[in-house]
Structure 1
Amino acid sequence: MIPHCLLLDTHEANELISCLNEINYTYERVSKLNEVFSSLENQKFHFIIIHVTNLKENGSEAVLSKIAASFPNVLIILITDSSNWALTASLLKRHNAYDFLQSPIDSEHLKFTLDRSLQYLNTKMKSQFIHEAENQLFKRVIDIFDWKKSLTHKENENISADIIHQMNISLFQGSGIGTLMSVVSILISKSKLDPEQNVYLVPKPILDLVSENYDAAKSMFDSMSISQSVIDDDSIVESNAATQELLPLFDEEIKNLEEALSLKKQKINLSQIPNSAIDRKIKFEQTKFSYVIREILLNAIKYSKLGDEIYVIFFHRENFLEIKIINPAYPNEDDSFGIPEKYETYVFEPFFRISSVVDDSYAKFEQFRFGLGLTLVKKIMDQHQANVQIYNIDSNLRNENTKDVCLTIRIPLVQ
C-alpha cells in the first residue's frame, strides 16, 4: 500500500511535491502548522512531512510536540539540510519526529524512506493490538487454570475451542458445506426404495433443500476460486483508463446488489466524479476493480441496519481521486464502536473479524469469503498503487450527533 502524507504547504515543500508526484504517492496540504490538527481529526494520514525551517518560529516546536502526543500513530518526517542539523537531531532525540530527509530530495530515497517508515508504522499498529490480545489470552489462561475458580464452577472452555469456533465461522456456519452435509444426510435417511422400478423416491421439500444448499456451496467454491486467483496474482496494473470508467462499475454493482439492499430496505447514494477529475487517468483493471466495488459496498450493507443510507462520494484532491464509502457506525460485541482505532490496520489482516456473527442472508452475493474480503481489497489496491483505509468519522451527513464508518480509497492520478 502506498502512504498518504500531510504536507505543510510552504516554498520549501515544492521540491517534495514534485518528488511525490513522480513516485505517485498521495498527499494533501495545509498552509499553517495549526491547521494540522483539524486535518488529522477529519482525515487519516500515515505521515506529516515538515521542513525544519518552518519550525523555527516561536511556539512551533511546542505545536509539533502536541501533534506527536495527540496522534501517536501518525509519523512525523522532517526535511532538513546541513544548516539545521542541530534542530533536527534535537527533534529526533525527543521523539517529536520519526525520521528525516536531506535536501535536495531524491525521489528514490524519498520512496525508500516512506516505504520503510510505513512498514514500521504498520508493525507498530499490529503490535499494539497483539499486545492487547496477549493480555486477554493471559487472563484467559489464568481463569482456566485457577483451581479456586474451578472449585466454584467447572471451566469447560479451552483455548483450542476458540480456534475451532473460528474455523466453524469461516467454513460451516450458515448455508453451504455444513448445511449441505446435513441435508444430504436427511436425503439418504428419508429416501424410499421402490424395488419394482429400482429407483429411490425423494420428497420434494428435501430435494429443494439439497438444490438450495448445493447452490450455496457452489457459490462458496466459486468464491474460493476467485480469491485464489487474486492471491496468486502479484502483477502491478499497467493499464490506464479515464476516471469516469468507475461510474458504470459502481452502477452495475449497485444493480447486482438490489436484492441485498432490499433485505433491510437500504439505499446507496452515488455521487458524480468532480469535473476537475473527469479527463484524468488512473491505473485501472476492470475485473479487479469490480471485485473491490462489490466487496466494499456489500461490507457497508451488511454492517448497516434497517432503512440506512450508504453514501459513495468522489473527491478530487491534489494528485489523486478519492472515493469514500460512508455508512452508520454501530456497537460491536466487545462494546467498541464502528471501527476502533486499534482495529484500523488489523481489519485488513486475513480471517480477522470484529464480529463473530455471520449473516448468511448475504452469502450468495459475496465474491470474497472466509474473512478475506478487506485483505483482498487491499491486495488489489496495492496492485493499482492506491491506498485504502477504514476508520470512524463524525457524522456530517445525517444531522445527528453520531459516528459513521468511512472506507477511503485514494487512487493516484496518472501524471
Structure 2
Amino acid sequence: MIPHCLLLESIHTNSLVDSLKEIGYTFERVNHFEEVSRSLEQGKFHFLIFHISDVENEDIQKTLAEVTKNFPHTLIILITDTTKWDVAASLLKQHKVYDFIQTPIETVHLQFTLDRSLQYLLTKLKSQFINEAENHLYKRMVEIFDWKKSLTHKDNENIAADIIHQMNINLFQGSGIGTLMSVVSILTSKSKLDSEGNHYLVPKPVMDLLSENYDAAKSMFESMSISQSVIDDESVVETKESPTKLLSIIEKETEILSEALTIKSQKINLSQIPTSVTGKKIHFDEIKLSYVIREIFLNAIKYSREKDTIYLIFFHKENFLELKIINPAYQNNDGTNGIPEKLESFVFEPFFRISSVVDDSYAKFEQFRFGLGLPLVKKIMDQHQANVQIYNIENNFRNENTKDICLTIRFPLIEEEK
C-alpha cells in the first residue's frame, strides 16, 4: 500500500516534498492549519505531517488535540530539530502526535519512520476489528450453549453454521454450481425413457434451465482461472504509458457493461483526464487495468439503486493522477451506511463482505468472484505502484443531504523521458 499524506506547507517543509516524491508516496498540501480538518473530512489520509515551528502557538495546539481526537485513523508525524525538543517532547507525551522526524531529513529515515507508522496503523485497525469479531463470536457461543434458551426456543443452531457460512455464499448461493446441481436433479427425475428404451425425453424448460446454469457455472470457473492467474502473478508492472490510455479501457468496459446498466436504468458519467498530465506517464498493464475497471464499475452498479448515476472523475493532484468512482451510499443490514469507517481497510481482505446477499443479475459480467474482487483490485494496484482506498464522503453531486461511496485510485505520475 502506498500511504497518502496531508502536508502542512511552509518554508520548513519544502525539502519534504522532494523526499516524498523520491519514496513514491502520494501527498496533498494545505497552506494553513485551519484547512487541515476540512481536508481530513473530505478525503482519507494515512499521515498528517507538519513542522514544529508551525504549531508552537497554544491555540493551534488546542486545535491539534481536536484533530487527534476527531481523526484517529490519521497518524500525526512531527518534523522537528534539536532546538525544539521541549515542545516536541510535550506533544509526544500528550499523544497529540504519533512520531517525529528530525532535520535535516534523510530520505531513508523518512521512509523507515512512515513505513513503521503505517504498519502500526494497520495493526491497530485490525486489532479493533478482531476484538469486535471475538465479542460477536462470544455472544454467539453464549446463545448456542445457553441450555435454558435452547430448551425454551428449541435452538438447534451450532457453531459450524458460522464456519460454513462464507463457503455457502461464495460457492453455492445463486446461479452456478448450486443451481446446476438442482437442475441436474430435476433432469434425472423429469426425463422419461422412450418406448424403445434408447432415448430419454427431456422437457424443453428443463433443458433451457440446464443450459442457462451450465453457462453460469462455466463463467464461474473461468473467473476462478482469472483470479488464480492474478493471485499467482507477483511481478511489478514496469511498462509505462500515457494516462490518457486509461480512457480507451474505460470506454471499452463501459460498453461491455451497458447491459448491466440497463438492469436498474443506471448511467455512468465520465470526466476527462486533466490536460496538465500531458507529458507524464503511469505504470500501465492494459489487461490488468481492464480487470480493475470492470470490478470497480460492477461494485458501484451492484450497490447502487434504480436510476442512480455513477461518476468517474479524474483529478491531477501534486505527484499523482487520482481516479474516483462515486456512487450513492445506502443503509446496510446492520443499520450502517455505505462503507463504515471501521471497515474501510477490511473490504480489501479476501472473502470479507459487508452484505451476504448475492445478486445473480450481474454474474455473467464478473471476472472476480467469491469475495476476491477488491482484494485482487488492491493487488493489481500494488503491482502498478498505485494506491486504492474506499470510504464514505459527503454528497456533493446530488441535492439530497446524504453520503456517497468513493473509491479512489492514485497513480503516481512519472516524468516522460526526453
TM-score band by shorter chain is over 0.9
Map 1:76-91 → 2, pairs under 5 A: 76-91=76-91
Count, aligned residues: 415
Instruction: After superposition, give the CA deviation of every residue in 1:27-73 in whole Å (9 maximum; x if it has no partner).
Output: 00000112100000111100001111212223222222111111111
Q: Which residue of 2 aligns with 1:305?
A: 305
Instruction: After superposition, give the CA deviation of every residue in 1:272-331 in whole Å (9 maximum; x if it has no partner).
Output: 011112332111111111100000000000000000000000000111100110000100
CA RMSD of aligned residues (A): 1.3
Measure the CA separation in 2 of the matches of 1:104 and 1:285: 38
TM-superposed CA distance for 1:82, in Å, is 1.8
Pairing 1:108–2:101 present: no
Q: Which residue of 2 aligns with 1:34?
A: 34
Q: Which residue of 2 aligns with 1:389?
A: 389
Measure the CA separation in 1 of the matches of 2:106 and 2:237: 25
TM-superposed CA distance for 1:197, in Å, is 7.3
Question: In percent, how many aligned pairs have the same letter?
Answer: 68
Map 1:213-228 → 2, pairs under 5 A: 213-228=213-228
Question: Which deviates more from structure 2 when the two are superposed, residues 135-144 or residues 26-35?
Answer: 135-144
Question: TM-score, length-normalised on structure 2?
Answer: 0.96
Pairing 1:320–2:320 present: yes
Listed as ranges, the gaps of 5+ residues in structure 2 are none
Question: TM-score, length-normalised on structure 1?
Answer: 0.97
Listed as ranges, the gaps of 5+ residues in structure 1 are none
Measure the CA separation in 1 of the matches of 2:139 and 2:207: 49
Amino acid at match of 2:306: L
Question: Which deviates more from structure 2 when the two are superposed, residues 171-180 or residues 140-149?
Answer: 140-149
Measure the CA separation in 1 of the matches of 2:147 and 2:186: 44
TM-superposed CA distance for 1:389, in Å, is 0.8
Measure the CA separation in 1 of the matches of 2:44 and 2:288: 25
Instruction: After superposition, give the CA deviation of every residue in 1:364-396 in whole Å (9 maximum; x if it has no partner).
Output: 111000001111111111111111111111111
Aligned to 1:59, the other structure's residue is in SS state helix
Pairing 1:154–2:154 present: yes
Q: Which residue of 2 aligns with 1:344?
A: 344
TM-superposed CA distance for 1:195, in Å, is 6.4
**2:150/2:156 contact within 8 Å kept:** no
Measure the CA separation in 2 of the matches of 1:181 and 1:259: 27
Measure the CA separation in 2 of the matches of 1:158 and 1:95: 44
Map 1:108-147 → 2, pairs under 5 A: 108-147=108-147
Measure the CA separation in 2 of the matches of 1:116 and 1:404: 32
Measure the CA separation in 2 of the matches of 1:394 and 1:247: 27
Q: Which residue of 2 aligns with 1:185?
A: 185
Question: Which deviates more from structure 2 when the two are superposed, residues 187-196 or residues 2-11?
Answer: 187-196
Measure the CA separation in 2 of the matches of 1:185 and 1:86: 77
Question: Which deviates more from structure 2 when the two are superposed, residues 185-194 or residues 173-182?
Answer: 185-194
Aligned to 1:155, the other structure's residue is in SS state coil
Q: Which residue of 2 aligns with 1:361?
A: 361
Instruction: After superposition, give the CA deviation of every residue in 1:88-130 in whole Å (9 maximum; x if it has no partner).
Output: 2222222111111121222222222212211111111121122
